[in-house]
Structure 1
Amino acid sequence: LNAPNAVDFSLNGMALKNALIAKISNNTTALPYSSSSFDTWDALMLTDEDPNNSLNVLLIYNSQSEPKTNTVGNGNNSFPAVWNREHVFPKSLASPALETGNPGPGTDIHNLRAAKESVNSARGSLKFAAGSGNSGPVGSNWYPGDEWKGDVARIIMYMYLRYDGNGSSITETQCLPTVVGVGNVVANDPNMIDLFLQWNAEDPVSDIERQRNPVSEDKQNNRNPFIDNPFLATKIWGGPPAEDVWGTLGVDEIAQNTFSIYPIPANEHKIFIRSTAAIIKQVALFTMTGQQILSENNPQKNNNQIVLDNLPSGFYVLKIHSEKGITSKKVLIN
């Protein structure tokens, strides 16, 4: 998925989600968690290698650079025991719980990060929640830190797509964003919450994320598509516009004749939206920097049109969610 032509990106909403599921789930392999052969320890020493020091790994949540030798376990009897393997989507919150005894969902290296043992222990299985600054508890939940929240969001979104079964068995594992984070359910998917979309937009892809994908592809035969391009999440679920790394996805329309938005530019701080071909589930208005200033779920219609009133002046992106997908349009409000 390192090239825009790997998937049909004219798709939006659940159609794009399903296309990505097929892409990242096809012909994959799984590593053993711990083994005398190449295992997840070995993988993490490659995926999480400190970009500034090849002898170290960079630890999630606290950005500590630690020698690769200083593992908790992995046969380490000679060096300080500092870091271990963090399941970003906690094992106990999946359905069924992620197990590491055999290669499978619990050993997926996209979900594993090198972490300081004490920090990993403090996080435990706490749900992710909004916060600011450094990582740490937020009430009974956990904030991953300003520098890591985007990494977390993109991992959770990957796990949701990769393990989208019915929860009946290991081969039908579910990893639902709603059980691992605190936030509001988005309009077009009852399993996704706005928290992860916000984090995905606010914290761009880092160098260490970029280096993880090729290694994961080599060892596991799949990539995290939301690292390749965070805007894929915007095309599926909406929310604040994330960075379009390829510069080709933009804010395209699902169909030119699906909605009528008028007048453009909008006069008297008012916009009318009319649709006869789709059921509108949500409308949202964002500034050009991604700040959401309005959101209405299942907006009321009068004479087959929706009215957005008392809008502030300026340039905005209007996003409309329907059962057919998501469409976006730049609007000027006078």
Structure 2
Amino acid sequence: MKNLYAFFFILFFAQFSFAQVVINELDADTPSTDTQEFIELKSDAPNFSLNGFVIVLFNGSTSGGDASYFSLDLDGYTTDDNGIFLIGGPEVSPVPDVLLSENIIQNGADAVAIYIGNDTDFPEGTVATTTNLLDALIHDTDDADDTGLMTLLGVMEQINEDENNNKTIESIQRKDDGTYEVKTPTPGALNDGSGTQFNGISITTSFDQYNEGDNVDMIFTTETNVTSDLTFDVTITNESFTVADYSGSTSITIAAGTNTVTNTIQLIDDTDNEGDEIMKITFGAIPSGFIRLNDNKELQVIDNDFIMASWGTPLNPTFGNVANTAPIDYYDSLEGLSDTNLVQAIQDIIADPTIVRAQTYADIIDILKEADESPLNSNQVWLLYTEQQRPKLDFQTSGGSSVGKWNREHTYPRSRGGFNNIDADDFADGINVFTVTRPDSLRHANSDAHGLRATDGPENSSRGNQDYGEYAGPSGTQGSWQGDVARSIFFLTVRYNGLDVVNGDPDNSTVGQLGDLAILLDWHRNDPPDDFEMNRNNVIYNWQFNRNPFIDQPDLAEYIWGNNMGEVWSNTLSIDENEVSEFLLYPNPANDYIMVSAKGKQGKLEIYDTLGNMLVAQSFNETTKVNLNISSGFYLARFYYNNTSVTKRIIVK
């Protein structure tokens, strides 16, 4: 009998102790950013162990079905001197005990709940329950009450985080009587302002970017003066940025009676091309009574030992410097074909399931860093549309602000093509891990590098899902990308069943159709493939084992959609790259004249504007000066000799 009594006493005591943890504050929606959202727990007792607890987030939307979409096991964690435990995004201050990625916490109508249990008890899609439930908060942002979720969790009230309707950042906060109010967030502190007041420490630097050889002043500041010397360590190494990349001490002391100190380290200027790197300033152990207001501050370290390519950018293109790496017989099967037979033969090459590989959408980041590498700087990528370069490090890794960042642009918009992410797309598994793909594997168009380009984040958003022609690029740019996107679209429509390119501007809601074919053909003709595109084709071929034939054999577009449609294709009609490289135009960009160097050849040169109007016609014989009396812009120069022709692009300033 005594043993039975002891058992019930222990069970009661355990349940009582578990019940002392509640959801104290929630910020599920921070307007214009998803980096400052947080969940705050509170235990009645300070420094309370959270072993045996799990946080679960439930999706109250129709598609969510009142089921779990995220869980966090709290084993190993402890609340602080005020009984507070903070879980939040990367910009929450003070620094959360557990960092969440951006946009994890949904706006609502949803729920945050704390249970006795483990994260394995709540795999994604677990319907909300009261079993082992300690506390739950159902929240929304001006959404209707989710009565089903309320019933499942036994909660009588749903709290609107936007109930004050002032569109400022506010949070839902628990009061001492167990009810809630919405007001200015107080992460990491008791909601009523009482309790132990910690002295916050912050890290600042003058800049976010430094060059090798620079001194970096790291400034450490406390909110109030320290009463005795405050000593702590920081680390600044991160991945490839190691102790070999800097000199100086990382042991920090803020002297008694002060609240700030500047610690200087020097970045070593070596001769190695290591690429740009990220230095990360991270606090070590912080003495009792202090908290981190920020942490893991990242600085870019720019390597001045970058490599320049032997070919030009799309703005200053070169031709014939990059060799085509296709096997010599890669296109032999096209010989003597026309119409649909020609299209089918191309697809048989570029979508052959026994050869061609599909990579993940995450792998595309690494592919683009190589394929779209700027010829001017090996540590940067060349951006489509905006015609500029940007550090590879500045890839947009989250859904926040894209200003100053680059991301992945689908030349054939996903909404227009009907292909989207799958779960496997979220993981980069490298060049040697791939998926078999077929002509009807349309979902693989989402991660086909021939259809993706590095672009400025805001410009990517501006383009949206418009047809080309309807979208013509940023104002003031020179259109050096237009032929590139035309050939990208041509590739995709042949490579995948279900995609087409059509004349005009089809309705944006029509899946599988993109325009404008006539404009894209003109862009293709007026902006022929250059060395940048050939290098890109070679890089992607190394990953995917297929090539864009409209880069290797530009005239194919004419035989499928253009002036030679219906005619029989012959590989002998294409011009050898060595012959192309024998025709040089300089200076390019030009002013009032341009020089022709034709290596012993003679013939006729014609210069056309982008509308097809011939503006200059002159014979050439080896090295010839051609006077120009034309306005600034892009033009095509066509060399005619021995019953064939070569086209190059020139820019007139």
TM over 0.5: yes
Q: Equivalent residues in 2 for 1:1-334 (5 A)?
A: 2=326, 5-7=329-331, 8-26=334-352, 27-34=355-362, 39-73=363-397, 82-94=405-417, 96-99=418-421, 101-102=423-424, 104-129=444-469, 135-136=473-474, 146-164=479-497, 174-178=498-502, 182=505, 193-239=517-563, 248-249=572-573
Once the 2 structures are TM-superposed, how far is the Cα of residue 292 of structure 1 from its aligned partner?
A: 7.4
- Supply the distance in 2 between the matched residues of 1:113 and 1:152 (Cα, whole angstroms): 9
Deviations along 1:149-184, one digit per CA (max 9) or x if unpaired, are 1001000000001112xxxxxxxxx222139x639x
RMSD, aligned α-carbons: 3.7
- Supply the distance in 2 between the matched residues of 1:115 and 1:106 (Cα, whole angstroms): 16
- Supply the distance in 1 between the matched residues of 2:499 and 2:467 (Cα, whole angstroms): 13
- Supply the distance in 2 between the matched residues of 1:229 and 1:68 (Cα, whole angstroms): 30
Instruction: Tell me the secondary structure at the aligned position of residue 84 of structure 1.
Output: strand
Query: Kindly tell me: are residues 83 and 229 of structure 1, through their superposed partners in 2, closer, same or farther at Cα, counting changes over 3 Å?
Result: same
- Supply the distance in 1 between the matched residues of 2:380 and 2:482 (Cα, whole angstroms): 22
- Supply the distance in 2 between the matched residues of 1:155 and 1:126 (Cα, whole angstroms): 15
Once the 2 structures are TM-superposed, how far is the Cα of residue 101 of structure 1 from its aligned partner?
A: 3.7
- Supply the distance in 2 between the matched residues of 1:149 and 1:230 (Cα, whole angstroms): 14
Query: Kindly tell me: are residues 25 and 229 of structure 1, through their superposed partners in 2, closer, same or farther at Cα, counting changes over 3 Å?
Result: same
Stretches of structure 2 that go unaligned for 5 or more consecutive residues are: 1-324, 426-443, 507-513, 576-605, 614-653
Opposite residue 395 of structure 2, the aligned amino acid is: T
- Supply the distance in 1 between the matched residues of 2:493 and 2:406 (Cα, whole angstroms): 26
- Supply the distance in 2 between the matched residues of 1:22 and 1:149 (Cα, whole angstroms): 27
- Supply the distance in 2 between the matched residues of 1:240 and 1:291 (Cα, whole angstroms): 19
Does the CA-based 8 Å contact 2:488-2:548 persist in structure 1?
yes
Once the 2 structures are TM-superposed, how far is the Cα of residue 202 of structure 1 from its aligned partner?
A: 1.0
Does the CA-based 8 Å contact 1:151-1:209 persist in structure 2?
yes
Does the CA-based 8 Å contact 1:157-1:177 persist in structure 2?
yes
Partner of 2:80: none
Partner of 2:227: none
Does the CA-based 8 Å contact 1:58-1:66 persist in structure 2?
yes
Instruction: Tell me the secondary structure at the aligned position of residue 380 of structure 2.
Output: strand
Query: Kindly tell me: are residues 233 and 192 of structure 1, through their superposed partners in 2, closer, same or farther at Cα, counting changes over 3 Å?
Result: farther
Does the CA-based 8 Å contact 2:404-2:456 persist in structure 1?
no
- Supply the distance in 2 between the matched residues of 1:4 and 1:292 (Cα, whole angstroms): 34
Once the 2 structures are TM-superposed, how far is the Cα of residue 239 of structure 1 from its aligned partner?
A: 3.1
Deviations along 1:193-220, one digit per CA (max 9) or x if unpaired, are 3222221111111322111111111111
Once the 2 structures are TM-superposed, how far is the Cα of residue 9 of structure 1 from its aligned partner?
A: 2.7
- Supply the distance in 1 between the matched residues of 2:564 and 2:390 (Cα, whole angstroms): 35
TM-score under structure 1 normalisation?
Answer: 0.58
Query: Kindly tell me: are residues 144 and 90 of structure 1, through their superposed partners in 2, closer, same or farther at Cα, counting changes over 3 Å?
Result: farther
Deviations along 1:282-322, one digit per CA (max 9) or x if unpaired, are xxxxx9979779xxxxxxxxxxxxxxxxxxxxxxxxxxxxx
Opposite residue 420 of structure 2, the aligned amino acid is: L
- Supply the distance in 2 between the matched residues of 1:45 and 1:152 (Cα, whole angstroms): 18
Once the 2 structures are TM-superposed, how far is the Cα of residue 62 of structure 1 from its aligned partner?
A: 0.9
Query: Kindly tell me: are residues 205 and 212 of structure 1, through their superposed partners in 2, closer, same or farther at Cα, counting changes over 3 Å?
Result: same
Deviations along 1:24-69, one digit per CA (max 9) or x if unpaired, are 00121111112xxxx1110000000011211110000011111111
- Supply the distance in 2 between the matched residues of 1:225 and 1:250 (Cα, whole angstroms): 12
- Supply the distance in 2 between the matched residues of 1:15 and 1:288 (Cα, whole angstroms): 35
Does the CA-based 8 Å contact 2:501-2:515 persist in structure 1?
yes
Is the deviation greater in 21-30 or in 8-17?
8-17
Instruction: Tell me the secondary structure at the aligned position of residue 502 of structure 2.
Output: helix
Once the 2 structures are TM-superposed, how far is the Cα of residue 13 of structure 1 from its aligned partner?
A: 2.4
TM-score under structure 2 normalisation?
Answer: 0.31
Instruction: Tell me the secondary structure at the aligned position of residue 454 of structure 2.
Output: strand
Once the 2 structures are TM-superposed, how far is the Cα of residue 147 of structure 1 from its aligned partner?
A: 0.9
Which structure has more strand as a fraction of its residues? 2
Partner of 1:259: none
Once the 2 structures are TM-superposed, how far is the Cα of residue 145 of structure 1 from its aligned partner?
A: 5.6
Once the 2 structures are TM-superposed, how far is the Cα of residue 238 of structure 1 from its aligned partner?
A: 2.3
Instruction: Tell me the secondary structure at the aligned position of residue 453 of structure 2.
Output: strand
Deviations along 1:111-144, one digit per CA (max 9) or x if unpaired, are 1100000111111111111687xx238xxxxx99
- Supply the distance in 1 between the matched residues of 2:574 and 2:538 (Cα, whole angstroms): 25
- Supply the distance in 2 between the matched residues of 1:28 and 1:144 (Cα, whole angstroms): 35
- Supply the distance in 2 between the matched residues of 1:231 and 1:144 (Cα, whole angstroms): 27
Opposite residue 162 of structure 1, the aligned amino acid is: R
Instruction: Tell me the secondary structure at the aligned position of residue 393 of structure 2.
Output: coil
Opposite residue 148 of structure 1, the aligned amino acid is: W
Return the structure number with greater relative CO, CA threshold 8 A, min gap 6.
1
Opposite residue 419 of structure 2, the aligned amino acid is: A
- Supply the distance in 2 between the matched residues of 1:178 and 1:117 (Cα, whole angstroms): 27
Opposite residue 161 of structure 1, the aligned amino acid is: V
Which structure has more helix as a fraction of its residues? 1
Number of residue-to-residue matches in the alignment: 224
- Supply the distance in 1 between the matched residues of 2:422 and 2:486 (Cα, whole angstroms): 22
